[in-house]
Amino acid sequence: MALKNEKLTHLHFYYHNLLAGPNVTALPLNPKDFNHPAGLFGRLTMADNPLTLDPELNSTTVGRAQGLYGVASRTDATFMELFNFVFKADGEYRGSTVTVLGRNHILAAGIREMPVVGGTGVFGFARGKVHVKTHSFNTTTGNTVVKCDVYVFHY
């Protein structure tokens, strides 16, 4: 396999984790009792969230964040996340994916960081990091918009 020169690509988008409303994109696999002594620890959610260029859900869709996240801490709001960012918009990234696997302390102030562990298509042999920051969170519905900057090395 002949590899070209490695390059760094910066991708910027928002993902919409919708737990409520007419177009739910995230579904708890094992709903937990909020009054349980362990709280939400162990709750798993499968997601197929839209990726958009702007924070508004009706802005241009560039792909989907497909994967699984679970509450991985008994003491704070920390998720273990496994996502494929699947690019569907026309252009050079169409059909390619970036895979992210890591810890996300969702209530931490500022930017959180997770590793890029792989990719396909244009992003074959990918490595890098993802910076995420909560753009908006609805305390009633749990719906969340997350700003996402992906820095990915690939060939």
- pLDDT, one tens digit per residue, over 18-38 is 999 999 999 988 866 656 656
Q: Please count the structural domains in the chain.
A: 1
Domain interval for residue 114: 7-154
Structural domain contains residue 129? yes
Give the dihedral sign, CA 34/39/42/43.
positive
Structural domain contains residue 1? no
Structural domain contains residue 78? yes
Kind of pairing between the strands at 26-28 and 61-71:
unpaired
pLDDT digits 0-9 by tens, 110-154: 999 999 999 999 999 999 999 999 999 999 999 999 999 999 999
CATH of the domain at 75: 2.40.480.10
